[in-house]
Structure 1
Amino acid sequence: MFPVLETDRLTLRQITDQDAEAIFVCFSNDKVTRYYGLESMKSIEQATSMVQTFAGLYQEKRGIRWGIERRDTKELIGTIGFHALAQKHRRAEIGYEIVPAHWRNGFALEAISKVVSYGFSALGLTRIGAVVFTENEASNRLLVKMGFQKEGVLRQYMYQNGVPYDTNVYSILKSRE
């Protein structure tokens, strides 16, 4: 059973084929993909394929990706989730993106907060990592604000449009009560 998470303003839910158009709108936007290590989508088929990839991630227990839906408008405004899930080592990496029209409204903070807490409580993780392009100032600031600690820089770690970029590595650890 795919877990549905709720915050004040958001529902984090399974992404389905019906979401392909919203996924396309998101991932065909150069502002979204600029720091993603992924070329902008050119067709709806690519979006459908990504939906299948997200489904496979969950089925194979390699991760989980939620659609970020606004509760008021029922609009899918992005995705968030864990990849590189290693249950044996109780760790995963978090990734997320939001359509630019919804930037700077605190939606990412709200979604990350919920997903991190789910990772620690429901998935039993002790470490959640994040890899962020050094140029992605908004995301770097957000993670630090949320208690992630910068661990270092991975040089020329991700390619975007054929160009290698450095990335910052962050982690947040489950506090030992």
Structure 2
Amino acid sequence: MSGAPHVVLRPLAAADRDRLLAWRNQPEVARWMYSDHAISPEEHARWFAGVVADARRRYWVIEADGAPVGLANLYDLAPEHGRTSWAYYLAEPSTRGQGIGAFVEYWVIEHVFGELGLNKLWCEVLVDNQGVWKLHEGFGFQREALFRQHVRKDGVPADVVGLGLLASDWAKQRQASRDRLVARGFDLPA
């Protein structure tokens, strides 16, 4: 084993609310989000109450070696169409480069196609966030869209890449993705 961190995704809890606000307002996290303004406690409280009550969303806190380090979520969960969208971020800079993002990607994909039985996983990534969209492509996601000037970042129009992964794509990519994570020392179920 190469000393990979022990990573788990646990369901979001009420006790996570303040931590998420602090994370979300970090410049390095806000930089990659559609909205980049400072989020007030009141705005965050409304958002948090909404996500807890929304059946079309699922949220998990990412933990590495027992410490909370980020957030992953599904949104626009549409079983009637066999698809959902997803996003994640690592808020703790010290965790980047350890393969945690790759582990989260694998876990979410397995959850969506295995436990939820959906056919498509979709995401949108700012075009400047090359590391993340390349990570997605490494797991078999295909670029399906380029949304030109889709959002404004610091008042400047920014392009967004739309990426999709089908269950059939994952069936071809799964073993190679799993092997890469196991080679890095991550413990994955068979």
Q: TM-score, normalised by structure 1?
A: 0.83
Partner of 1:53: 50
Question: Would the aligned equivalents of 2:57 and 2:73 in 1 still touch at CA under 8 Å?
Answer: yes
Distance 1:17 1:45 in 2: 15
Partner of 2:176: none
Is the counterpart of residue 97 in structure 1 residue 89 in structure 2? Answer: yes
Letter in 1 for 2:6: R
Partner of 1:27: 24
Letter in 1 for 2:131: A
Distance 1:17 1:161 in 2: 31
Distance 1:67 1:54 in 2: 14
My pick for the range that moved more, 45-54 or 110-119, is 45-54
Question: Would the aligned equivalents of 1:31 and 1:100 in 2 still touch at CA under 8 Å?
Answer: no
Q: Aligned in 2, Cα 1:83/1:122: closer, same or farther, shift over 3 Å?
A: same
Runs of at least 5 residues in structure 2 that lack an aligned partner in the other structure: 172-190
1:132 deviates by: 0.5
Question: Would the aligned equivalents of 2:148 and 2:158 in 1 still touch at CA under 8 Å?
Answer: yes
Between the two proteins, what is the percent identity of the paired residues? 24
After superposition, what is the alpha-carbon deviation per residue over 1:8-40, rounded to whole angstroms, capped at 9, x for unaligned?
Answer: 722211222211232123111111111211224
Runs of at least 5 residues in structure 1 that lack an aligned partner in the other structure: 1-7
My pick for the range that moved more, 46-55 or 149-158, is 46-55
Q: TM-score, normalised by structure 2?
A: 0.78
Partner of 1:38: 35
Is the counterpart of residue 140 in structure 1 residue 137 in structure 2? Answer: no
> What's the Cα RMSD here?
2.0
Larger radius of gyration: 2
